[in-house]
Structure 1
Amino acid sequence: MFSGDLVMGIDAGTGGIRAGLFTLEGEAVSFYDQSYETLYPSPAWAEQRPQDWWNALVTAVQGCLASNIGARERVIGLAIDAPCNILLTDEKGTPLTNSLIWMDLRGASQAKRLTETQDAVLRYCGMDVPAEWPLPKALWLKENNAELWQQATYLVEQMSWLAWKLTGSQAVPQNSAVAKWHYRVNATEDVPAGWPRSLMHAVGLEDLPEKLFSTVVPMGGKVGELNAESAQLLGLREGIAVSMSGIDAYAGMVGMGVVTPGTLALVTGTSTCQLVQSRQAVFDPGLWGPFEDAVVQGDWTLEAGQTSTGGSVRWLLDLFGEKLPQGSERYIAADDAAAAVAPGAEGLTVLDFWQGSRTPIKDPHARGTIWGLTPHHGPGHLLRAIYEGTAYGNRHILEKLHALGVPTQNIVACGGGTRSTLWLQILADVAGLPITLTKVSDAVSLGSAMCAAVGAGIFADFQEASQSMVHPSRTIEPDLSRYALYTEGYELYKETYRALAPLFQRAAQPR
């Protein structure tokens, strides 16, 4: 049994909510998962019901507490991380729409118009606005549901809406505001502080700021206290601190202790997100950011990403069907098959662009590519080539950071991809850098729990929280002889994209 105060990190993901209970020393006490449904009413659309989020949160928190006698009295705070899923509400917070979740791309043309403004604030996101971000969705809602837009009092995102229900307090997460809404904490000569009003005005969203909450709370900042109604539903004490976390990948960054420059946070899953802290603002169109005060006050965060890493592996395993075991054993068998093949996959090259390329090549029309095939190649070759292709994509990001003068001496990784020892070794070998894993593999939930601890006043900041709650477990050292071997494959990876880029663009044209 664990004794002492506890904090709860609630991870609201795409597939459901996970509640995690932690000690102030970073020991995981219990987890509970509750899923919810994603709706796809039209091509490129993706929606969720906000009430499903709330029901899942209640179930997950209750389940997390159920197996821990006395935990209710010891929980001193909680925090929630979530993607930028948006919805319109009335003045009481009642949803007027389903939520347009992060992967919804219905605002693609609106994103293009936002990018074409070339507003000065866009230099903080590489001069382009992705369709996954909130402003294109907000513009789509206004242009396609004008009556509903006028009727709505607020446009909120998932994190804000759940915190509002828990506390009655209205607050915007500073993390997502800075990283996805183009919000500026501090003014410069050409960009004022606050919401990007000139950008909004240029596309007809001049009334949007009136629908946004006025209070902006940083990661680890207290939003309010758990109200009586929510406390009774959840099984927690009324009045405990409810604090702001951030977007899931950023919560994972905190949960891995990557809160100072010099280390790359590698958050793996269906896709991969790379995050790094910097003392200075660093601008480049091949990256997202720099985002000021997105995680640590006074520092800047740079974001990069690969759209399909674990997703590409899963795609190939699904194609193999019965040729590999099912369930968790399938991934063990995949590693065994790929490990039997020498580095270089006997001449296969893979571009990991199953869903386009996010960074440092921003090309939504790029596509997954496998070449060099002969009758000799089998499943193990294909798997190893995909592992290597995703590792080359990660090296491309590291190379971009190095060229910009952003120091990266090591990598800390979390997420589903870390279950593959082989893939981790290939990532380390291709990057030529050590990769460290932390004791709590669910760094996202832990990161939100750390936000709860800071918000409750237990720790002064994330650096202090990291010293107590984040603990390394093991480090994968790179084989530098393989690094040299992989350099040739990496150059071939980049040359392959350069050769195919014109064909990707040609294939994307209407016929």
Structure 2
Amino acid sequence: MAADPTLVGLDVGTTGVKAIAISTTGEVLARAERGYPLSIPQPGWAEQDPEDWCDAAQSALDDLSVEAASIGLSGQMHGLVVLDGGDRVLRPAILWNDQRTAAECAEIEERVGLARLIELTGNRALPGFTAPKLLWLRNHEPETYAQIRHVLLPKDYVRLRMTGEHAIDAADASGTLLFDVARRRWSEEVCDALGIPTEWLPPAHESTEIGAAGDQAAGALGVGVVEPGILSVVLGTSGVVFAALPEYRADPQARLHVFCHAAPGSWHAMGVMLSAAGSLRWFRDEVAGESYDELTREAGEWPPGAEGLLFQPYLAGERTPHADPNARAAFVGLSLRHNRGSMVRALLEGVAYGQRDSLELLRELGAEADVGRVSGGGARSPLWLKIVSSVLNVTLERTAAEEGAAFGAALLGGVRAGIFADVHEAVAACVRVRDRIEPDPGWAAVYDEGYARFRKLYPALRPLEDA
């Protein structure tokens, strides 16, 4: 009797590679993780050596010690890897969280026209995206730019090193700002307007054809979000509220990102906040010096609303709903009664309010859901989950496997290998819900009022950015 095939997923993240081996019923057989450094050569810059990804990926695969029937790939989106004609890396990769390209973003929106850019790509020009990085190289490193013959994203460079293949999936290509998201192909109009040769860009495929997707699409697949009706709610360093769409539909103001989904012929919209669980980590590391368990225990001693204390979670600027890299965080409403626990409570609630901003915009696009699949480090806190569920007024579900993007990559690899007929069969076979968190009606009423107050914070504090 033949052994059950083993499916492997690799997620090439910002801090390291995560690898997972699963069975065809979703049982986790092995896990591995290998880290690598982040370079910050100047304030606001973020770079990595692509060879570090490849070394870590191979080491993680070795650590799994399995015979893989298929290998799927996921990874950090938007990062720029530039190669010469011999596929040699020309400079360190510029990552998604690099903020150097504000002038190039303005240049793109002027060249293409903001309304047309949103119509074609589903997004406006933001510093994290790939196209502004290419223009920055042209403007600031012309010698390097002149040598470019190939452009890849992080996980796709790992694929090149593993297989020799130049390729990208539609989901990840959607985050380059060079992709016609509605037609699921490179946009000659945008590339021509920006003077970027289309022959630099790898062939674009559906995720199931090459067993790969960007981390958000793969992560949503990994928790079973492949069609409208269920949200993906991510409480990671950044926060995401993600909904599958029945058709391509861009937000006219581009407050949400609209990308191709990993399921062929489908799309998704998502709101992204830059400091979700990252806000709690900052408070723990820089202010409190206590464990997460102790901080959330203290927060649990305070009632919903923390007696009027609010937290605006814009520690690293913000993306949704305010595309403002200069936005800053704030505690508002402190009194002599407030203590550390109340500040943590307000912080947890402020992040939840930020995610509700994204949910309200998704609803404007026609995405309706009363269930969200939650993942990320923050999902380990029962208190935070109850807060988020009550703020969103959505039932949250946790799945049996917590690996998210790596798990979704393993499923995509299985579809590519013919082990599953499609992503729907893969999800039905492998994704299982382990528990549910229901909104608290009493808390939800308090949070409706709190959210109305939260929405007034940014307009009130925004003028201080220019002071």
The answer on whether the counterparts of 2:232 and 2:374 sit within 8 Å (CA) in structure 1 is: yes
The 5 A counterparts of 1:317-332 are: 317-322=284-289, 324=290, 330-332=291-293
**Structure 2 residue aligned with 1:251:** 218
**Structure 1 residue aligned with 2:105:** 111
**Structure 2 residue aligned with 1:296:** 263
Letter in 1 for 2:186: W
Task: Note the alpha carbon deviations across 1:185-220, whole angstroms, 9 max, x for none.
Answer: 655xxxxx73233333334x233x12122x212212
**Structure 1 residue aligned with 2:72:** 79
Task: Note the alpha carbon deviations across 1:109-137, whole angstroms, 9 max, x for none.
Answer: 10121123315232355652111000000
The answer on whether the counterparts of 1:268 and 1:417 sit within 8 Å (CA) in structure 2 is: yes
How far off its partner does 1:420 sit? 0.9
Q: Percent identity?
A: 30
The answer to whether residue 184 in structure 2 is matched with residue 196 in structure 1 is: no
What is the rounded CA distance, in whole Å, between the counterparts of 2:103 and 2:20 in structure 1?
39
Letter in 2 for 1:475: R
Provide the TM-score with structure 1 as the length reference.
Answer: 0.87
**Structure 2 residue aligned with 1:5:** 5
Pick aligned residue for 2:196 from 206, 211, 214:
206
Pick aligned residue for 1:307 from 251, 274, 293:
274
The answer on whether the counterparts of 1:20 and 1:28 sit within 8 Å (CA) in structure 2 is: yes
How far off its partner does 1:335 sit? 1.2
What SS does the aligned partner of 1:436 have? strand
**Structure 2 residue aligned with 1:97:** 91
Pick aligned residue for 1:136 from 129, 132, 137:
132
The answer on whether the counterparts of 1:220 and 1:450 sit within 8 Å (CA) in structure 2 is: no
**Structure 2 residue aligned with 1:399:** 360
Letter in 1 for 2:226: V
Task: Note the alpha carbon deviations across 1:237-271, whole angstroms, 9 max, x for none.
Answer: xxxxxx3x212122110000000101111122111
The answer on whether the counterparts of 2:390 and 2:439 sit within 8 Å (CA) in structure 1 is: yes
| Shift in alpha-carbon separation, 1:22–1:428, aligned structure 2, 3 A | same
**Structure 1 residue aligned with 2:50:** 50
The answer on whether the counterparts of 2:178 and 2:190 sit within 8 Å (CA) in structure 1 is: no
The answer to whether residue 403 in structure 2 is matched with residue 442 in structure 1 is: yes
What is the rounded CA distance, in whole Å, between the counterparts of 1:270 and 1:373 in structure 2?
25
Unaligned runs of 5+ in 2: none
What is the rounded CA distance, in whole Å, between the counterparts of 2:185 and 2:409 in structure 1?
25
The answer on whether the counterparts of 2:397 and 2:435 sit within 8 Å (CA) in structure 1 is: yes
Letter in 2 for 1:206: I
How far off its partner does 1:102 sit? 1.2
How far off its partner does 1:3 sit? 5.4
How far off its partner does 1:351 sit? 1.1
Provide the TM-score with structure 2 as the length reference.
Answer: 0.94
What SS does the aligned partner of 2:279 have? helix
Pick aligned residue for 1:497 from 438, 448, 458:
458
The answer on whether the counterparts of 1:122 and 1:182 sit within 8 Å (CA) in structure 2 is: no
What is the rounded CA distance, in whole Å, between the counterparts of 2:133 and 2:182 in structure 1?
25
Letter in 2 for 1:81: S
How far off its partner does 1:490 sit? 0.7
Letter in 2 for 1:383: V
**Structure 2 residue aligned with 1:371:** 332
What is the rounded CA distance, in whole Å, between the counterparts of 1:206 and 1:91 in structure 2?
16
What is the rounded CA distance, in whole Å, between the counterparts of 2:435 and 2:279 in structure 1?
26
The answer on whether the counterparts of 1:91 and 1:153 sit within 8 Å (CA) in structure 2 is: yes
What is the rounded CA distance, in whole Å, between the counterparts of 1:185 and 1:311 in structure 2?
30
What is the rounded CA distance, in whole Å, between the counterparts of 1:86 and 1:357 in structure 2?
22
The answer to whether residue 295 in structure 2 is matched with residue 334 in structure 1 is: yes
How far off its partner does 1:173 sit? 2.2
**Structure 1 residue aligned with 2:205:** 217
What is the rounded CA distance, in whole Å, between the counterparts of 2:356 and 2:159 in structure 1?
38
The answer on whether the counterparts of 1:256 and 1:265 sit within 8 Å (CA) in structure 2 is: yes
Q: Number of matched residues?
A: 462
Letter in 2 for 1:439: A
What SS does the aligned partner of 1:155 have? strand
The answer on whether the counterparts of 2:11 and 2:409 sit within 8 Å (CA) in structure 1 is: yes
What SS does the aligned partner of 1:221 have? helix
Unaligned runs of 5+ in 1: 66-70, 188-192, 223-242, 325-329
Deviates most, 89-98 or 11-20? 89-98
How far off its partner does 1:486 sit? 1.1
The 5 A counterparts of 1:216-295 are: 216-222=204-210, 243=211, 245-284=212-251, 285-291=253-259, 293-295=260-262
**Structure 2 residue aligned with 1:154:** 150
Deviates most, 39-48 or 352-361? 352-361
Pick aligned residue for 1:174 from 153, 158, 170:
170
How far off its partner does 1:160 sit? 1.6
What is the rounded CA distance, in whole Å, between the counterparts of 1:428 and 1:413 in structure 2?
10
Letter in 1 for 2:55: N
How far off its partner does 1:496 sit? 2.0
What is the rounded CA distance, in whole Å, between the counterparts of 1:491 and 1:196 in structure 2?
40
Larger radius of gyration: 1
What is the rounded CA distance, in whole Å, between the counterparts of 2:357 and 2:181 in structure 1?
30
How far off its partner does 1:6 sit? 0.3
The answer to whether residue 345 in structure 2 is matched with residue 349 in structure 1 is: no
| Shift in alpha-carbon separation, 1:368–1:258, aligned structure 2, 3 A | same
RMSD over equivalenced CA pairs, Å:
1.8
The answer on whether the counterparts of 2:129 and 2:175 sit within 8 Å (CA) in structure 1 is: no
Letter in 2 for 1:57: A
How far off its partner does 1:499 sit? 2.1
How far off its partner does 1:389 sit? 0.6
The answer on whether the counterparts of 1:124 and 1:288 sit within 8 Å (CA) in structure 2 is: no
Letter in 2 for 1:80: L
What is the rounded CA distance, in whole Å, between the counterparts of 1:495 and 1:53 in structure 2?
42
What is the rounded CA distance, in whole Å, between the counterparts of 2:225 and 2:182 in structure 1?
23
Deviates most, 462-471 or 120-129? 120-129
Task: Note the alpha carbon deviations across 1:113-169, whole angstroms, 9 max, x for none.
Answer: 112331523235565211100000011112222222222321222122111111122
The 5 A counterparts of 1:361-510 are: 361-504=322-465, 506-507=466-467
The 4+ residue runs of structure 1 with deviation greater than 4 A are 124-127
The answer on whether the counterparts of 2:271 and 2:359 sit within 8 Å (CA) in structure 1 is: no
What is the rounded CA distance, in whole Å, between the counterparts of 1:396 and 1:102 in structure 2?
22
What SS does the aligned partner of 1:220 have? helix
How far off its partner does 1:175 sit? 1.1
